[in-house]
Structure 1
Amino acid sequence: NSSDSIGKVLRRHWHILSKAYPQIGEFVAPPVMSYRRGKTIGGMVTSSEVKTQYKWRDTFLGMRKLGMYPCLGCVQCSHVIKGEAFIHPSTGEKISLRGHFTCVSKYVIYALTCPCGFICIGETTQMVKSRISQHKSSINLGNMRLPVSKHFLEAGHEADQLKYMVLEGIPSLKFGGNRELKLKQREVWWIHRLKTMAPSGLNRDYNLFLFL
């Protein structure tokens, strides 16, 4: 083909360059020729590379968009902060989510927000909608012992004003790792990441023995 013909011509006459420019080391020996395949219609409409999906996640149910979304089948759907990223209510910082989450997601770390912009980070192994229901119940029952309900009651907020978003999910760990321990460790990480310890947020404490 034409590529081979060009290579033969270069090799046949390479000695001319070698004699004319002996001081240039690159001209001493003939080059090794390599070729790149030209573009085809097929190549332009398909790709052999596996591209990273930044906004979609491949699941057994098909491609799902990354972010937090209501399940459209429970009473906690109206409390969901819907979107592809969590936006800190105080600083405006935007943190993109790396999974697809709904009200029925399990083994997750979530953020609760109140009307005045405070955040509480929590974790749950159950469906997150069940955990949100518990938070709302503690507010409606006037429980002053828990940080979230205590703040809502003291600030005059209603339980229906509570909003939440899942920040991260912990999948089953390989080789039998402790999934629940990993979940609690990531909860602590998020507390530090978003600076939600009181008085800046609604988290009161955490257990450092989780990392020993």
Structure 2
Amino acid sequence: MPFATCTANFVVYVLKCPCGKLYVGKTISSVNTRTNEHKNNIRNFKADTYNDTPVSRHFATAKHNKVLEVVTKSPTGGDRNTMLLQREARWIRRLDCVYPKGMNEQLNLACFL
């Protein structure tokens, strides 16, 4: 598994809570920015608001980061965001992170069409 700095962007990352559940996500922002967004949502969690995300909901109920892959610009071109969505989907499937085994709500394969 590659390592990335907190300033890396276009990455697929995994959050693992102490209970062992995983959440796979992707970000075009820096890892640091996205991590702070998750922390903010956890800290300010309130059901049925914009802070009610799969991660914040889990942490709020269970009381409990790591980059999986850096998606670089392809030398042959192509949409980097689509590539990021595809890599995220592959990691969600590989790590079996869809609820109830993990915290991802769904495995979206539309990015492969």
Q: Which SS does the other structure have where 2:102 is aligned?
A: coil
Aligned equivalents of 1:174, 1:184: Cα separation in 2:
18
Does 2:42 correspond to 1:147? no
Shift, 1:150, TM fit: 0.3
Equivalences, count: 109
What is the CA deviation profile of residues 60-90 of structure 1, one whole-angstrom value per residue up to 9, with x for unaligned ones? xxxxxxxxxxxxxxxxxxxxxxxxxxxxxxx
Q: Percent sequence identity over matched residues?
A: 40
Equivalent residue number for residue 52 of structure 1 = none
Q: TM-score, normalised by structure 1?
A: 0.49
When the two structures are superposed, what TM-score results if normalisation uses the length of structure 2? 0.90
Higher relative contact order at CA 8 Å, sep ≥6: structure 1 or structure 2? Answer: 2
Q: Give the gaps of 5 or more residues in structure 1.
A: 1-96, 158-163
Q: 1:125: Cα distance to partner?
A: 0.8
Quick one: which of 13, 16, 23 aligns to 1:110? 13
The C-alpha deviation readout for 1:152-204, integer Å capped at 9, x for no partner, is 001123xxxxxx00010111112331111000001000001001110000000
Runs of 4+ aligned structure 1 residues displaced above 4 Å come to none
RMSD: 1.2
What is the CA-CA distance between 1:130 and the residue it aligns to? Answer: 0.4
Distance in 1 (alpha carbons) for counterparts of 2:60 and 2:3: 32
Q: Which residue of 1 aligns with 2:89?
A: 188
Shift of 1:208: 1.8
Q: Does 1:178 align with 2:61?
A: no
* Aligned 1:23-172 pairs, distance under 5 A: 97=1, 99-144=2-47, 145-157=52-64, 164-172=65-73
SS at match of 1:175: coil
- Structure showing greater radius of gyration is 1
